[in-house]
Amino acid sequence: MDESEIKTALLAEIRAWMGRRQVNQSDMARHMGLTRSAVSRRMSGQQDFTFPELASIAGWLDITLAELFGPVVLQARRSPRTDMVGAGASGSLPRLDSNQQPFD
Protein backbone atom coordinates (compact mmCIF):
# COMPACT_ATOMS: atom_id res chain seq x y z
CA MET A 1 0.00 0.00 0.00
CA ASP A 2 1.60 3.27 -1.07
CA GLU A 3 1.34 6.65 0.64
CA SER A 4 -1.49 7.83 -1.61
CA GLU A 5 -3.59 4.75 -0.83
CA ILE A 6 -2.97 5.19 2.90
CA LYS A 7 -4.07 8.83 2.72
CA THR A 8 -7.22 7.87 0.79
CA ALA A 9 -8.09 5.16 3.33
CA LEU A 10 -7.50 7.52 6.27
CA LEU A 11 -9.70 10.23 4.79
CA ALA A 12 -12.43 7.64 4.13
CA GLU A 13 -12.26 6.56 7.79
CA ILE A 14 -12.52 10.16 8.97
CA ARG A 15 -15.56 10.70 6.74
CA ALA A 16 -17.15 7.47 7.97
CA TRP A 17 -16.67 8.43 11.63
CA MET A 18 -18.04 11.91 10.97
CA GLY A 19 -21.11 10.29 9.41
CA ARG A 20 -21.55 7.97 12.40
CA ARG A 21 -21.36 10.96 14.75
CA GLN A 22 -23.57 13.07 12.47
CA VAL A 23 -21.11 15.94 12.27
CA ASN A 24 -19.86 17.83 9.24
CA GLN A 25 -16.80 19.74 8.10
CA SER A 26 -18.15 23.00 9.53
CA ASP A 27 -18.39 21.35 12.95
CA MET A 28 -14.84 20.05 12.56
CA ALA A 29 -13.59 23.50 11.54
CA ARG A 30 -15.13 25.05 14.66
CA HIS A 31 -13.61 22.35 16.87
CA MET A 32 -10.15 22.70 15.35
CA GLY A 33 -10.18 26.49 15.11
CA LEU A 34 -9.71 26.36 11.34
CA THR A 35 -11.65 27.83 8.48
CA ARG A 36 -14.06 25.62 6.55
CA SER A 37 -11.82 25.91 3.50
CA ALA A 38 -8.78 24.71 5.50
CA VAL A 39 -10.72 21.65 6.64
CA SER A 40 -11.99 21.11 3.09
CA ARG A 41 -8.41 21.15 1.74
CA ARG A 42 -7.43 18.53 4.30
CA MET A 43 -10.48 16.35 3.67
CA SER A 44 -9.92 16.47 -0.10
CA GLY A 45 -6.29 15.42 0.32
CA GLN A 46 -4.84 18.70 -1.00
CA GLN A 47 -3.19 19.33 2.37
CA ASP A 48 -2.15 16.77 4.99
CA PHE A 49 -3.49 16.64 8.52
CA THR A 50 -0.80 16.97 11.17
CA PHE A 51 -0.53 14.29 13.83
CA PRO A 52 -1.80 16.68 16.56
CA GLU A 53 -4.78 17.49 14.32
CA LEU A 54 -5.55 13.78 13.90
CA ALA A 55 -5.30 13.28 17.67
CA SER A 56 -7.66 16.22 18.19
CA ILE A 57 -10.14 14.80 15.67
CA ALA A 58 -10.08 11.40 17.40
CA GLY A 59 -10.77 13.05 20.76
CA TRP A 60 -13.54 15.17 19.25
CA LEU A 61 -15.16 12.06 17.74
CA ASP A 62 -14.64 10.22 21.06
CA ILE A 63 -12.61 7.42 19.48
CA THR A 64 -9.03 6.18 19.67
CA LEU A 65 -6.42 6.98 17.05
CA ALA A 66 -6.48 3.29 16.09
CA GLU A 67 -10.21 3.54 15.40
CA LEU A 68 -9.69 6.75 13.44
CA PHE A 69 -6.94 5.20 11.30
CA GLY A 70 -9.02 2.09 10.67
CA PRO A 71 -7.90 -1.46 9.94
CA VAL A 72 -6.68 -0.79 6.41
CA VAL A 73 -4.22 1.89 7.52
CA LEU A 74 -3.12 -0.01 10.63
CA GLN A 75 -2.39 -3.15 8.62
CA ALA A 76 -0.48 -1.34 5.89
CA ARG A 77 3.09 -2.53 5.92
CA ARG A 78 5.90 -0.46 4.65
CA SER A 79 9.31 -1.76 3.84
CA PRO A 80 11.97 -0.93 6.42
CA ARG A 81 14.23 2.03 5.91
CA THR A 82 17.25 0.92 3.95
CA ASP A 83 19.24 4.08 4.58
CA MET A 84 19.76 3.03 8.20
CA VAL A 85 20.79 -0.56 7.55
CA GLY A 86 24.38 -1.21 8.38
CA ALA A 87 25.02 2.15 10.01
CA GLY A 88 27.81 1.41 12.45
CA ALA A 89 27.67 -2.31 11.83
CA SER A 90 30.88 -4.17 11.17
CA GLY A 91 29.28 -6.76 8.94
CA SER A 92 30.10 -9.71 11.19
CA LEU A 93 29.25 -10.79 14.70
CA PRO A 94 31.88 -11.25 17.41
CA ARG A 95 32.88 -14.80 18.19
CA LEU A 96 31.01 -16.37 21.06
CA ASP A 97 34.22 -17.01 23.00
CA SER A 98 35.60 -13.47 22.54
CA ASN A 99 34.43 -12.29 26.02
CA GLN A 100 33.09 -8.92 24.90
CA GLN A 101 33.32 -6.20 27.57
CA PRO A 102 30.85 -3.34 27.90
CA PHE A 103 32.01 0.14 26.95
CA ASP A 104 32.36 2.57 29.84
Q: From CA 13, how far away is CA 36, in angstroms rounded? A: 19
In a domain, 86, yes or no: no
Structurally, how many domains does the chain consist of?
Answer: 1
In a domain, 98, yes or no: no
Q: At CA 7, angle to CA 5 and CA 11, rounded to 5?
A: 120
Q: From CA 94, how far away is CA 40, in angstroms rounded? A: 56
Domain that holds residue 49: 3-74
Residues 11, 43: contact at Cβ < 8 Å?
Answer: yes
Q: What is the CATH number of the domain that holds 49?
A: 1.10.260.40
- What pLDDT does residue 71 have? 86
Quick check: pTM over 0.75? no
Task: Count other Cβ atoms within 10 Å, centred on residue 49.
Answer: 19
In a domain, 44, yes or no: yes
In a domain, 33, yes or no: yes
Winning range, highest mean pLDDT, from 38-47, 65-74, 89-98:
38-47
In a domain, 63, yes or no: yes
- What pLDDT does residue 3 have? 87
- What pLDDT does residue 74 have? 81
pLDDT digits (tens, 9 = 90+) for 3-56: 888 899 999 999 999 999 999 999 999 999 999 999 999 999 999 999 999 999
In a domain, 97, yes or no: no
In a domain, 11, yes or no: yes
